């Protein structure tokens, strides 16, 4: 009787066991690729108004003003937004609402301004929050000014241009707004009240006519009669 050969299936190869990830390894793999940060703000695309300033405004002002060095051309230093919230004396929620609106349109949280002394006639106590202030520099400054020129200012009621009398004699421009809702970033349904603000554009012009030329070339919609005689 011949012996029958029994075929035995070869054992399946075992897949190599994955090495356990080091502590914190999963978080690093799952984290999306982030832009390199310099510690102050994440790098991103250059604002178009900043690019326009360097490529168009600087050469144009050098030619019209007879400047030989581009560093002689005036530039923007900062934009300061101030908003007085007197109603916060009776309702603190109004201050929180206005602060949120300013943060939306400016891109950073405003600083709370408090009373420096007590005035009984105005029901004001020292240390009471009465206003907000936000200072924009760098890319955020250019982005805010671009949105104001191209989007917000045309939404002003009966708008026919900005008044050129807002210059302070040193090339800095001040303007007042009565309503923060002209900025599309503000949610009209959540805003508790209409809130005004003062916007100060600080430049290195040192003269009003040079400051006006700078802002006009950057797109500020001044009245047609401004700068005539």
User: Can you give the three-state secondary structure of the chain, one letter per residue?
Assistant: CCCCCCCCCCCCCCCCCCCCCCCCHHHHHHCCCCCCECCCCECCCCCHHHHHHHHHHHHHHHHHHCCCCHHHCCCEEEEEEEEECHHHHCCHHHHHHHHHHHHHHHCCCCEEEECCCCEHHHCECCCCEEEEEEEECHHHHHHHHHHHHHHHHHHCCCCCCECHHHECCCCCEEEEECCHHHCCCCCCCCCCCCCCEEEEEEECCCCHHHHHHHHHHCCCCECCCCCCC
Question: What pLDDT, on the 0 to 100 scale, is given for residue 61?
Answer: 94
Cα 146 to chain centroid distance, Å, stands at 10
Q: Taking residues 151-175, what's their average pLDDT?
A: 90
Q: What would the pLDDT profile of 13-44 be if each residue is shown by its tens digit?
A: 555 554 544 444 443 333 333 343 344 555 67
Question: What pLDDT, on the 0 to 100 scale, is given for residue 63?
Answer: 93
Q: Taking residues 130-135, what's their average pLDDT?
A: 91
Report whether pLDDT(115) > 90. no
Question: What pLDDT, on the 0 to 100 scale, is given for residue 17?
Answer: 54
Q: Judge residue 58's burial from the number of C-beta atoms within 10 Å of its C-beta, 0-12 exposed, 13-18 middle, 19 or more buried.
A: buried
> Taking the CB of residue 96, how many other CB atoms lie within 10 A of it?
15
Q: Taking residues 132-159, what's their average pLDDT?
A: 92
The more confident residue out of 137 and 194 is 137
Q: What would the pLDDT profile of 180-210 be if each residue is shown by its tens digit?
A: 888 988 888 777 778 889 999 999 999 999 9
Least confident of 2-11, 113-122, 141-150, 182-191: 2-11
What does each C-alpha distance from 147 to 72, 160, 180, 197 come to in angstroms? 27, 18, 13, 16
Report whether pLDDT(59) > 90. yes
Report whether pLDDT(94) > 60. yes
Question: What pLDDT, on the 0 to 100 scale, is given for residue 176?
Answer: 92
Q: Taking residues 118-138, what's their average pLDDT?
A: 84
Question: What pLDDT, on the 0 to 100 scale, is given for residue 113?
Answer: 85
Report whether pLDDT(177) > 80. yes
Question: What pLDDT, on the 0 to 100 scale, is given for residue 81?
Answer: 95
Domain 74-217 sits in CATH at: 3.30.1440.10
Q: For the chain, give the percent of residues with pLDDT over 70.
A: 79
Report whether pLDDT(95) > 70. yes
Report whether pLDDT(139) > 80. yes
Q: Taking residues 153-162, what's their average pLDDT?
A: 87
């Amino acid at each position: 009787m011949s012996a029958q050969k029994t075929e035995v299936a070869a054992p399946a190869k075992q897949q190599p066991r994955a090495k356990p990830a080091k502590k914190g390894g999963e978080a690093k793999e799952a984290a999306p690729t982030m832009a390199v940060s310099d510690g102050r703000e994440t790098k991103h695309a250059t604002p178009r108004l900043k690019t326009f300033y360097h490529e168009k405004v600087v050469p144009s002002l050098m030619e019209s003003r007879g400047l030989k060095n581009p560093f002689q051309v005036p530039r923007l230093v900062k934009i300061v937004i101030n908003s007085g919230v007197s109603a916060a004396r009776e309702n603190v929620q109004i201050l929180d609402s206005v602060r949120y609106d300013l943060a939306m349109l400016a891109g950073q949280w405003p600083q709370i301004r408090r009373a420096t002394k007590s005035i009984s006639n105005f029901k004001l106590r020292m240390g009471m929050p009465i206003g907000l202030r936000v200072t924009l520099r760098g890319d955020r400054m250019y982005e805010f000014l671009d949105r104001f020129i191209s989007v917000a200012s045309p939404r002003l009621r009966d708008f026919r241009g900005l008044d050129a009398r807002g210059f302070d004699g040193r090339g800095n421009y001040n303007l007042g707004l009565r309503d923060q809702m002209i900025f599309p970033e503000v949610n009209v349904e959540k805003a508790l009240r209409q809130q005004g603000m003062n916007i100060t554009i600080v430049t290195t012009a040192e003269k009003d006519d040079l400051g006006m030329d700078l802002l006009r070339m950057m797109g500020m919609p001044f009245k047609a009669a401004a700068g005539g005689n």
